[in-house]
Amino acid sequence: MFVDVHAHLCDSKYGGGIDSLVRAYEEAGVGIVINSGYDVPSSERVMEQSQKFDSMYFSAGVHPDEAKTLDSRAIERLTAILKDKKCVALGEIGFDFYWNKSTEEEQIFAFEKQMELADHLGLPFVVHSRDASAKTYAFLKDRKSLINKGFLMHCYSESAEMARLYEGLGGYFSFGGVITFKNAKKDDVIKAISPERLLTETDCPYLTPHPFRGQINDSSKVVYVTKKMAEVLNKDVEEAEALIRENTRRLFGI
Ligand SMILES: [Zn+2]
């Protein structure tokens, strides 16, 4: 069974046609998809979508770009969503100093508030970190007491050295379509990470793997990511599938 730990099937690019997306990924052998919200309304959408399909779970949270929307009313709504039985993580949360769509103060507030919420509700959390490497690590390290169920560095794009530091805090790492690109240079990073910390994702509709670049991504394409990861790890695809399946169980309880 293949696993996509980070997808946005709630995205408007799909025109709401989720049934055909689920059929496509199930036919491709993908047995678990974590559909991920990025603000409160999209977190409500992924919750509703996941109720219809046994293979679909969800994470709910406010992305750093949307940090400015996290007021007390939003926290109240988010807390209710996070208590749903198909919710397996809080996120994605973190820092994005590339787009800077929310101020640094707003991003710090939202990151910390949601880490507290994850700890309070006994959930792992999913981290988005862009142009923020040193700051993200320092922030997590300073709040180590809030990391009790582990966390996922999604679309991991930092160094092997940083990965070791994140591992020390309880971090897991997921890789997506980028590792299939010719100039990706991710092999050494993947090899440096403990195998029991590796996961696969699509981050669809973005980051479509080779040879589908230019098309809209979807969860069925996590198969290509897993095959590439198997190749890097010098494992059979079946072995890589089993490894990732077990890591998913350990981090997300699925
Ligand atoms: Zn995402």
Per residue in 19-28, pLDDT (tens digit) is: 999 999 999 9
Residues near ion ligand 1 (Cβ under 5 Å):
203
**CB-count exposure of residue 113 (10 Å: 0-12, 13-18, 19+):** middle
Per residue in 16-75, pLDDT (tens digit) is: 689 999 999 999 999 999 999 999 999 999 999 999 999 999 999 999 999 999 999 999
Vertex 220: Cα angle to 214 and 225 (nearest 5): 75
Ligand 1 centroid to Cα of residue 63, in Å, is 8
Which CATH architecture describes the domain 2-252?
Alpha-Beta Barrel (3.20)
Determine the residue type at 27: E
Ligand 1 centroid to Cα of residue 206, in Å, is 8
Ligand 1 centroid to Cα of residue 238, in Å, is 26
Contacts of 84 (CB under 8 A, 6+ apart): 47, 58
**Distances from the Cα of 32 to the Cα of 3, 64, 163, angstroms:** 5, 26, 25
Ligand 1 centroid to Cα of residue 6, in Å, is 6
Ligand 1 centroid to Cα of residue 202, in Å, is 9
- Is residue 80 within 8 A of residue 45, CB to CB? The reply is no
Predicted structure pTM score: 0.97
